[in-house]
């Protein structure tokens, strides 16, 4: 008998997301599952009951109906204790859990003898687990929304303009932390025309920042900041002091600061002090994306937008929820991919295989037993370095030998050409000379084409097509001097066919170029 997946309405205040979407339900049903949705669960994300019913789900009237009749529960936010009370032994909960921050919730879930898969514990270092990585999906949306909130609170354009009324300078944006959320914020700010700077403790992200059109601001202190799982680590006091000095300098210059610094299981580090806020220009904006963990700014009030010292400080904790339809769709896709890993037989039954590194990584409770944290991933060992033997001595050529090696090929070529010239007919010699020159000229023409928007292969084929077209036109054209004969009809028709085929190739090249240019149009 297939298992039933239940989708209750989110009970967290202000949460608009829903754990699945109508088009995803159709795919879950193809995997063999039945789906039950609480009435009104998707209203905040513009997924209404009739859409869920049309996709094949059963819409029920209350949360109790969902919890009592479902074998698997999909949620976005971690359940509160009232929802835990509705659970029954043997159920499986798939949701954000944050086990390090919620020990009481973990104990309550374990007491219910359930299995819990935490969407925030997906092992991101495994490439096949990245399709299930809901943290990345939500962080990308939050970074985008942070810039939109900043633009809404900011009193000017982001991009610079020159108008009849005067010159408008572009806004300056500083992004603290260049993880997924930070890179999304950088991309959005650059797209809006702002001057963007960014910083991160991990030196390897500098190239990513630059590739997105922003300036990477380096802290004047040498220390590696990469932590496990793609996150940053807690830095030394010396680094933090140099970092605060850099932030203080940026705060005086920029118009908007977006902070994204979070380390799993720890309170958000305080990066922006009250003195820095006071030094900012009136009308500036700070968007503190770490508000849910206390905030990166000392003056942040989580869940609120406040004005202090003339600076708007936005500490919203529901940035992803403010794009509910988009975030629900991405989250639903992540949960679908996770379900596919659990139900490879496509028989409507999930199997939590604790021998699978990916599944073991996000299984925080198994049949009432707390299994978090997961053991370290068994990453493949790096290949052993090859034994380096003693270098083979290389005998240096003498100057005379070098001259001989350089002149050998030209001398041989001249000798062959002279031999042909002595014994070959005069007509053959003329044709041979034209052939050699044609090869040389053709080589120089084809391989000196610069692949700009074309790929190198397309550039070369277009150049060859152009040469073929010119040769074919010469065969079709009437003779330009007396004594020359018109080519026979077979040659003319072959030339016409050649022109037609090469024209198709060249036209295709320009069509592809146009499509590539259209990708860069806003």
Residue 352: the pLDDT is: 96
Phi, psi (5° rounding) for residue 176?
A: -95, 105
Mean local confidence (pLDDT), 115-136: 92
Any idea which residue has 């009809």 for tokens?
489
pLDDT above 80: residue 445: no
Residue 436: the pLDDT is: 75
CA dihedral 32, 38, 39, 42 (to 10 degrees): -80
Residue 219: the pLDDT is: 86
Residue 423: the pLDDT is: 74
Neighbouring residues of 175: CB distance < 8 A, sequence distance ≥ 6: 182, 185, 186, 189, 196, 197, 198, 199, 214, 257, 258, 260
pLDDT above 90: residue 8: yes
Q: By the 8 A CB rule, do 350 and 342 touch?
A: yes
pLDDT (tens digit per residue) in 421-435 = 777 777 776 777 777
pLDDT (tens digit per residue) in 187-210 = 999 999 999 999 998 888 999 999
Residue 425: the pLDDT is: 77
Residue 433: the pLDDT is: 74
pLDDT (tens digit per residue) in 392-408 = 666 666 666 666 766 77
Report cis status (omega within 30 of 0) of the bond before 91: no
Mean pLDDT of the residues in the chain: 87
CA distance 123 to 79: 22
What Cα–Cα distance (Å) separates residue 17 from each residue in 97, 136, 138, 184, 277?
16, 16, 11, 20, 33
pLDDT (tens digit per residue) in 12-54 = 999 999 999 999 999 999 999 999 999 999 999 999 999 999 9
What count of other Cβ atoms lies within 10 Å of the Cβ of residue 198? 27
Burial of residue 392, with CB atoms counted within 10 A of its CB: 0-12 exposed, 13-18 middle, 19 or more buried: exposed
Residue 394: the pLDDT is: 62
Neighbouring residues of 513: CB distance < 8 A, sequence distance ≥ 6: 453, 454
pLDDT (tens digit per residue) in 274-311 = 999 999 999 999 999 999 888 999 999 999 999 999 99
What percentage of the chain carries pLDDT values higher than 70?
87
pLDDT above 90: residue 389: no
pLDDT (tens digit per residue) in 232-241 = 556 778 888 8
SS3 category, 418: helix
Residue 51: the pLDDT is: 97
Mean local confidence (pLDDT), 116-122: 95
Residue 165: the pLDDT is: 85
Confidence of residue 457 (pLDDT cuts 50, 70, 90): low
pLDDT above 60: residue 229: no
438 vs 243, residue with greater confidence: 243
Residue 44: the pLDDT is: 96
Helix axes 489-519, 456-476, angle to 10 degrees: 150
Q: What is the DSSP letter of 80?
A: -
């Amino acid at each position: 008998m297939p298992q039933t997946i239940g989708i209750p309405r989110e009970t967290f205040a202000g949460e608009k997301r829903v754990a699945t979407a109508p088009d995803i339900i159709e795919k879950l049903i193809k995997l063999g599952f039945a789906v039950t949705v609480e009435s009104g669960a998707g209203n905040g994300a513009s997924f209404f009951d009739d859409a869920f019913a049309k996709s094949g789900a059963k819409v029920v009237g209350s949360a109790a109906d969902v919890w009592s009749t479902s074998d698997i529960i999909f949620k976005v936010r971690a359940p509160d204790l009232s929802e835990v009370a509705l659970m029954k032994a043997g159920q499986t909960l798939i949701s954000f859990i944050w086990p390090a921050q919620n020990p009481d919730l973990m104990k309550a879930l374990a007491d219910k003898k359930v299995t819990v898969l935490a969407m925030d514990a997906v092992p991101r270092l495994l490439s096949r687990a990245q399709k299930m990585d809901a943290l990345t999906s939500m962080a990308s949306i939050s970074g985008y929304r942070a810039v939109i909130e900043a633009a809404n609170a900011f009193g000017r354009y982001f991009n610079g303009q020159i108008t009849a009324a005067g010159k408008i300078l572009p806004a300056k944006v500083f992004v603290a932390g260049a993880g997924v959320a930070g890179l999304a914020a950088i991309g959005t700010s650059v797209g809006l025309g702002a001057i963007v700077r960014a910083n991160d403790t991990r030196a390897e992200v500098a190239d990513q920042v630059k590739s997105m059109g922003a300036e990477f601001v380096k802290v004047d202190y040498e220390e590696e900041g990469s932590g496990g799982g793609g996150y940053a680590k807690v830095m030394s006091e010396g680094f933090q002091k140099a970092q605060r000095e850099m932030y203080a300098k940026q705060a005086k210059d920029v118009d908007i600061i977006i902070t994204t610094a979070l380390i799993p299981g720890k309170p958000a580090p305080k990066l922006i002090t009250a003195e820095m806020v006071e030094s900012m220009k009136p009308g500036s904006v700070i968007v503190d994306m770490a508000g849910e963990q206390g905030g990166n700014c000392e003056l942040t009030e989580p869940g609120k937008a406040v004005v202090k010292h003339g600076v708007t400080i936005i500490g919203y904790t529901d940035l992803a929820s403010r794009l509910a339809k988009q975030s629900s769709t991405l989250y639903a896709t992540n949960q679908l991919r996770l379900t596919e890993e659990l139900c490879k037989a496509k028989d409507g039954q999930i199997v939590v295989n604790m021998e699978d590194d990916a599944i073991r990584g996000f299984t925080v409770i198994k049949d009432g037993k707390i299994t978090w944290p997961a053991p370290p991933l068994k990453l493949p060992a790096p290949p052993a370095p090859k034994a380096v033997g003693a270098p083979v001595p290389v005998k240096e050529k003498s100057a005379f030998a070098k001259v001989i090696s350089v002149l050998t090929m030209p001398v041989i070529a001249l000798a062959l050409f002279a031999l042909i010239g002595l014994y070959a007919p005069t007509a053959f010699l003329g044709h041979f000379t034209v052939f050699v020159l044609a090869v040389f000229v053709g080589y120089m023409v084809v391989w000196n084409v610069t692949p700009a928007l074309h790929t190198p292969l397309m550039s070369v084929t277009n150049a060859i097509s152009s040469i073929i077209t010119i040769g074919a036109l010469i065969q079709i054209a009437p003779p330009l001097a007396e004594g020359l004969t018109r080519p026979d009809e077979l040659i003319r028709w072959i030339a016409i066919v050649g022109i037609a085929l090469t024209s198709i190739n060249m036209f295709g090249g320009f069509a592809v170029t146009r499509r590539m240019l259209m990708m860069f149009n806003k």
